[in-house]
Amino acid sequence: MVVEIKNLVKRYGDFLAVDNIDLSIDDGEIFGLLGPNGAGKTTAINCIIGMQKQDKGKILLFGKEFDGNDSSIKRDIGIVPQDLALYLDLTCYENVTFFAKLYGLKGELLKSRVQEALEFTGLWDRRKDLARKLSGGMKRRLNIACAIVHQPKLIIMDEPTVGIDPQSRNHILQAVKELNKKGSSIIYTSHYMEEAEELCSRIAIMDNGKVIAQGTKEELKAFVTVEVKTEFELSAINYTLISCIKQVYGVRECAYQDNLLVVVSEKDSKNLSKIIDCIVATDVDIVSMNIEKPTLETVFLTLTGRTLRD
């Protein structure tokens, strides 16, 4: 277990920002922390890295209790803060070098690690440019380079893709996967469900300071799914067909309009082949077919009654 959090509570005055959460992150996984604005994700992360002192709860990193001071633990953590944390009047190279030195890197190793981090984030060619002169996406990448130069075992990324174009975003997502392949465990915070779907093995969903669900993508979806909706576009629709489908096991509803047929079934009823049999038997052609699967977005909607981004 890379990270284990028990009963974490953090207040700002009277306001409860993190409300008694438990999290555990396994070695080698990409763990998604999802939630809308103000859910408490950044606050939780700040407590994990020792930036803020929690009011209650235990934080174990690499199996050891962490109070925000232990250097041997800090050495193995890299943080990509939500807000850019760069010196705009230093060059890319100087930024990465500065932070690398805080981790005790020096000499040839320092140089090679800095080069590696800049190459990895695609900024080696821009190394002599002041951070101020970079585009938004490049600044985001430099923000990552500064966090990974010391090759931490645990990388915490707080919305690393916020506000950038799809190309830079893809670049970052690929980088996250690669870092994970190289052996780092990753905590990945995002508003974007698609990103979490693509990257994360396990996910926790936060809302109002609480973790409202936690598990693998499949577990989360299964947890919220009660029915499956299938849509067919057919060459024709007739009454025989409708009554045939209505008799199939698990079908709850069958509606149509023009040539569009919508069938709602209970989850896990595995009745798709039976439905198709009916269609074939009535001599109707299938033009197209679409099974609507639940997404993490649906999961969140079901759990909170709200969409993740407003």
Partner 1 sequence: MKVLNIAYYTILRNFRDYKTLTMMLLLPIMLILILGSALGGIFTPNSVSATTVCYLNQDKKFMSQDFEEFLGTDEIKELIEIKRVDSKEEAIQLIMNKEAASLIVLPSSFSEEIQNGRKASIEVYNSKYSSFRTSIVQSIINGFVKGTNAQLVVRQMGSSSPEYLRFDNLQEISVTAEGNTPRAIDYYAVTMLIMTIMYGTAYGNFALKEEKQLNTSIRLASAPIRYTEVILGKLLGSIVTVLLQAILIIIFTKIFFNVNWGGNIPFVIFVCFSLTLLSVGLGMMVSNLGKNPQATGALLNFGVNIMTFIAGGYFPASQMGPLMEKIGFISPNYLAQQAIFNTIYEGSSVQTMNFMLGIWIILIISFIIAGFTERRSAN
Ligand X SMILES: Nc1ncnc2c1ncn2[C@@H]1O[C@H](COP(=O)(O)OP(=O)(O)OP(=O)(O)O)[C@@H](O)[C@H]1O
Q: Which residues bind ligand X (CB under 6 A)?
A: 12, 15, 17, 35, 37-43, 82
Binding-site partner at residue 217 among partner 1, Mg ion, ligand X, none, CB < 5 to 8 Å by type:
none
Binding-site partner at residue 237 among partner 1, ligand X, Mg ion, none, CB < 5 to 8 Å by type:
none
d(CA 34, CA 32): 6
Assigned token pair, 238: 């007739």
- Check residue 42 for interaction with Mg ion (CB under 5 A): yes
Binding-site partner at residue 88 among Mg ion, ligand X, partner 1, none, CB < 5 to 8 Å by type:
partner 1
Residue 249 identity (one-letter amino acid): Y
Given CA atoms 61, 67, 70, 71 in this order, what sign does their dihedral have?
Answer: positive
Phi, psi of 97 (to 5 degrees): -60, -45
3-state SS of 51-89 is CCCCCEEEEEECCEECCCCCHHHHCCEEEECCCCCCCCC
Nearer to partner 1, 84 or 289 (CB): 84
Binding-site partner at residue 266 among partner 1, ligand X, Mg ion, none, CB < 5 to 8 Å by type:
none
CB contact at 8 A, 7 and 58: yes
**Candidate ranges 32-40, 83-91, 284-292, 301-309; the one touching partner 1 (CB under 8 A):** 83-91
Nearest to 168 by CA among 130, 121, 111: 121
Tell which one of 20, 24, 82, 115 touches Mg ion (CB under 5 A): 82
State in Å, rounded, how far the first CA of the chain is from the last one: 35
Nearer to ligand X, 76 or 159 (CB): 159
Q: H/E element holding 25? A: strand 15-25
Segment 120-149, which members bind partner 1 (CB under 8 A)? Answer: 146-147
Tell which one of 40, 50, 137, 160 touches partner 1 (CB under 8 A): 50
Q: What is the total count of residues that contact partner 1 (CB under 8 A)?
A: 31
**Candidate ranges 91-99, 119-127, 275-283, 287-295; the one touching partner 1 (CB under 8 A):** 91-99
Q: How far is the CB of 199 from ligand X (least distance, A)?
A: 17
239 contact partners, CB below 8 Å, separation of at least 6: none
Assigned token pair, 5: 């959090």
261 contact partners, CB below 8 Å, separation of at least 6: 231, 232, 233, 234, 237, 241, 245, 254, 255
Nearest to 256 by CA among 273, 233, 227: 233
Cα separation values, 184 from 133, 148, 179, 195, 209, Å = 30, 10, 6, 18, 27
Partners of 10 in beta bridges: 18
Binding-site partner at residue 90 among Mg ion, partner 1, ligand X, none, CB < 5 to 8 Å by type:
partner 1
- Check residue 101 for interaction with partner 1 (CB under 8 A): yes
Nearer to ligand X, 199 or 278 (CB): 199
Q: How far is the CB of 156 from partner 1 (least distance, A)?
A: 9
Nearer to partner 1, 49 or 203 (CB): 49
Q: How far is the CB of 200 from ligand X (least distance, A)?
A: 16
Q: How far is the CB of 123 from partner 1 (least distance, A)?
A: 17
Nearer to Mg ion, 17 or 263 (CB): 17
Residues that bind partner 1 (CB under 8 A): 46, 49-51, 53, 68-69, 71-72, 74-75, 77, 79, 81, 83-90, 94, 98-99, 101-104, 146-147
Residues that bind Mg ion (CB under 5 A): 41-42, 82
